[in-house]
Amino acid sequence: MNIIILTGRHGAARALTLSPPWVIGTVLTVLALPIIAALLTWKVMAPTTEVVVSAQDYDRVWQRTLDEMASHSASDESQSQLERMTQQLARLQTRLTRLDALGERLTEMAELSDGEFDFNSDPGMGGPELRKESLRYETPDVQTVIDQLAERIDNRTQQLKLLEELMLNRQTDANALLDFKPVQVGHISSGFGRRVDPITGRMALHTGLDFAAPRGTPIYAVGAGVVTFSGRNGAYGNMVEITHGGGYKTRYAHAHTLGVKKGDLVQKGQQIATVGSTGRSTGPHLHLEIYRNGMAVNPARYIALK
């Protein structure tokens, strides 16, 4: 192969003769240049690829770390919630114990032994057991136990409300009874009905019951009611009149002093006056009258109920 080289100096030309081995070597060198460039490029880019891979691994590690932190946070929250529920459970158990103790005491005080109010055990439950092989026993969680205790507390509360209503009704009925002894000392000096009048000596109807007692002895209301009269009333002397429910009315005559006035509300056993000898009287005593629907009745029938 001949190669002609022209020089810029004096326009001279030179000829260069190449043998076949040189030509082949030159061609191979030219063809190898792209391969060498590719290899160099791969070498230069290799660290970047490693960095990319490392970044991907770091992202996965970071995501896993975040997941673990979230899991721990959820676990801590569950533990805190469990502690709160346990405290609530303890408070409910304490409250239930107190309600049971109170209910049992009130039941004894009310003398209720028929089993209608039972604060010592849970209400009876039962029924056939339907077994399924697929079902397995699971321990109830704290929330389930709390719900069961809350239901038991509601049951006890309802029983206590009914018990309270029953006792209030009993108390109302008891106050309505005119069975309280009006004086705590002395004796019955004259009964109800026909008798010899102590002043005229003639037969007459005595519409009350006389209790002989020392002057100043307290006089008590035989039942709850409203004072409809308090003052001087002719032959009755100083008198207190109390109107009760159910058409009943009581009178307390010949009193020495009066302790209530018209319009006062009085309770059974409340002191309303003191024994005296005012009005038509032969000596210190209490004259008690009980009227039912305007008709005088024997007070002994009611006081004997006590």
What tens digit of pLDDT does each residue of 96-143 get? 777 777 777 766 666 665 555 565 555 555 556 555 555 554 555 666
178 part of a folded domain: no
Dist. CA 117–CA 106, nearest whole Å: 10
**The amino acid at 92:** L
Token reading at 64: 């896993």
**The amino acid at 79:** Q
- Asked if 186 and 217 count as a contact pair (C-beta separation under 8 A), the reply is yes
241 DSSP β-pair partners: 229, 251
Please give the backbone phi and psi of residue 108, each rounded to the nearest 5 degrees, phi first.
Answer: -65, -40
Q: Is residue 181 predicted with pLDDT exceeding 50?
A: yes
Q: State mean pLDDT over 263-280.
A: 94
Domain end, chosen from 17, 40, 69, is at 69
163 part of a folded domain: no
175 part of a folded domain: no
Say what the pTM is.
0.48
Domain end, chosen from 44, 69, 94, is at 69
**pLDDT value, residue 64:** 66
Counted domains in the chain: 2
Nearest one of 231, 223, 206, 232 to 268, comparing CA atoms: 223
pLDDT digits (tens, 9 = 90+) for 12-32: 555 555 566 666 666 666 666
Q: State mean pLDDT over 155-171.
A: 71
The percentage of the chain sitting over the pLDDT mark of 70, rounded to a whole number, equals 56
Domain end, chosen from 32, 50, 69, is at 69
Confidence band of 144 (pLDDT split at 50, 70, 90) = confident
Confidence band of 51 (pLDDT split at 50, 70, 90) = very low
Q: State mean pLDDT over 146-153.
A: 75
116 part of a folded domain: no
**pLDDT value, residue 256:** 96
248 DSSP β-pair partners: 292
Q: Give the CATH number, domain containing residue 206.
A: 2.70.70.10
116-125, 142-151, 281-290, 295-304 — most confident range: 281-290
- Asked if 195 and 203 count as a contact pair (C-beta separation under 8 A), the reply is yes
6 part of a folded domain: yes
Mean pLDDT of the chain: 75
Q: Is residue 47 predicted with pLDDT exceeding 60?
A: no
Long-range contacts for 224-228 (Cβ within 8 Å, ≥24 apart)? 224/175, 224/176, 224/265, 224/266, 224/267, 224/268, 225/250, 225/265, 225/266, 226/263, 226/264, 226/265, 226/266, 227/260, 227/261, 227/262, 227/263, 227/264, 227/265, 227/266, 227/272, 228/262
Q: Is residue 57 predicted with pLDDT exceeding 80?
A: no
Please give the backbone phi and psi of residue 123, each rounded to the nearest 5 degrees, phi first.
Answer: -60, 145
218 part of a folded domain: yes
- Asked if 237 and 281 count as a contact pair (C-beta separation under 8 A), the reply is yes
Q: Is residue 229 predicted with pLDDT exceeding 50?
A: yes
Sort 217 into a burial class: Cβ within 10 Å, 0-12 / 13-18 / 19+. buried
Domain range for 14: 2-69
- Asked if 107 and 119 count as a contact pair (C-beta separation under 8 A), the reply is yes
97 part of a folded domain: no
Place of tokens 């006081």: 303
More confident call, 74 vs 67: 67
Q: Which residues contact 6 (CB under 8 A, 6 or more apart)?
A: 12, 13, 14
101 part of a folded domain: no
